[in-house]
Amino acid sequence: MSDIRAYELDGPTTGEAGFGDFLALLKPRVMSLVVFTALVGLLVAPVPVHPFVAFTSVLFIALGGGASGALNMWWDADIDAVMRRTSKRPIPAGKVAPGEALGLGLALSGISVVMLGLAANLLAAGLLAFTIFFYTVVYSMWLKRSTPQNIVIGGAAGAFPPMIGWACATGGVSIESLLMFALIFMWTPPHFWSLALFMKDDYSNAGVPMLTVTHGRKATRAHILVYTIALVPVALATGFTSIGGPVYLAVSVVLNLVFLFGAWAIWKRDEGVAQADKYAVEKKVFRFSLYYLFLHFVALLVEAVLHANGFGGW
Amino acid sequence: MPTASGAGKMSFRPDHELHRRRLGRNVGLGLVLGAFVALVFGLTVVKISDGGQMQGYDHVVQPELVPKEASQ
């Protein structure tokens, strides 16, 4: 029997995953959001950063985000196998062994934090280390399976990147970076709960205490509206800080009006109507929420470009 | 020299799918490590250049940069 046959008999979780399988462990789609928000956080900061240092910093922030993704997939492999949305991830699909994901996650966590410390500063590295800890231990290991508020508190992990980007440039924390953090933090619950409304069976099958499972769908609809209302002042307040300006504020007003209208539409629907049109409104609001966040950060970037050329700002 | 039985002909077994996956992974890892080395090199150059600008004399006398023993 050749050595190849021996591998075949053992199945694919024998350390023979392809490069792409390891890349998939890093959740590339989540990483793209991390890269973008961290980059904006770094570029809107009032302290100029050498382009190569900026590139390296954002790269290692993204790598840290990827590392926490791998650690999350290692810990949640049992849940991922049950949920349709995640059943094709490398571990439940049998392409990568759980131990490999753990090893990759730990190694990349260490590399990303140390390298960010060397490239930028210790505060940025410390914030990145805390983000990885928060996402892996606080969210994945603790909150996700124990409370329906998992998304609310866990959302902090996704909110740190612009704050880390800002810290890379300035070496500190300020009201601007806190507001960028708050924007993503407050945006996460309505974003995920609208997803949970139309991925209805997934979370209940997996036993994850998502709000839709523990408090019902009517309560979830109300929560989406309340959190969207709470998001509005945070988004608008950013416009009045040193990184904001008329352009940002105009964009933010329009986006918040649309988001509010969507949240209100979700709230006033009942389950029967939603099922009849296959959750059309919920899906639309979920998609819009992605544009909502993206365009807010694009507007901040536009303001930064205007500021640099003597325009924009108040 | 080729023979009727095929002995002596250079013959390779076709690559198994496993080999292709290993090759892909090894090439990928090689590229990542190469990029990492380039990144550290670039970062070092930038940091040293920046340091030079911050502490360089710029052909102007800066007494605070002169070691104490030398100035006494």
Chain A residues bordering chain B (beta-carbon distance below 8 Å)? 4, 7-8, 16-20, 22, 50, 52-53, 56, 59, 118-119
The H-assigned helical ranges of chain A are 3-10, 19-25, 28-43, 51-75, 77-82, 98-119, 122-133, 150-170, 175-198, 200-206, 211-214, 216-238, 246-268, 271-276, 280-308
Q: Is residue B32 part of a domain?
A: yes
Confidence of residue A12 (pLDDT cuts 50, 70, 90): very low
Closest in B24, B39, B46 to A19, CB measured: B24
Residue A145: Cβ-neighbour burial (10 angstroms; 0-12, 13-18, 19+): middle
What local confidence, expressed as pLDDT, does residue B64 receive? 63
Q: Does B33 touch chain A (CB under 8 A)?
A: no
Amino acid letter, residue A214: T
Chain B residues close to A16, C-beta within 8 Å: 18, 21-22
Q: Tell whether B8 is covered by a domain.
A: no
Does B37 contact A at CB distance below 8 Å? Answer: no
Q: Considering the domain boundaries, does residue B43 fall inside one? A: yes
In a domain, B36, yes or no: yes
For residue A2, how far is the Cα from the chain centroid?
Answer: 45
- Chain B contact set for A8 (CB, 8 A): 18
Residue span of the structural domain in which B40 resides: 25-54
B48 within a domain of the structure (yes/no): yes
Residue pLDDT, tens place only, A243-286: 999 999 999 999 999 999 999 999 999 888 888 888 899 999 99
Distance, in Å, from the CA atom of A181 to the CA atom of A171, rounded to the nearest integer, reads 16
Q: Which residue in A4, A7, A18 is closest to B24 by CB distance? A: A18
> Per the structure, how many domains does chain B have?
1
Residue B11 has pLDDT above 80, yes or no: no
Cβ of B21 within 8 Å of Cβ of A17? The answer is yes
Within a domain: B19: no
pLDDT the model gives residue B65: 60
pLDDT tens sequence across A96-150:
999 999 999 999 999 999 999 999 999 999 999 999 999 999 999 999 888 888 8
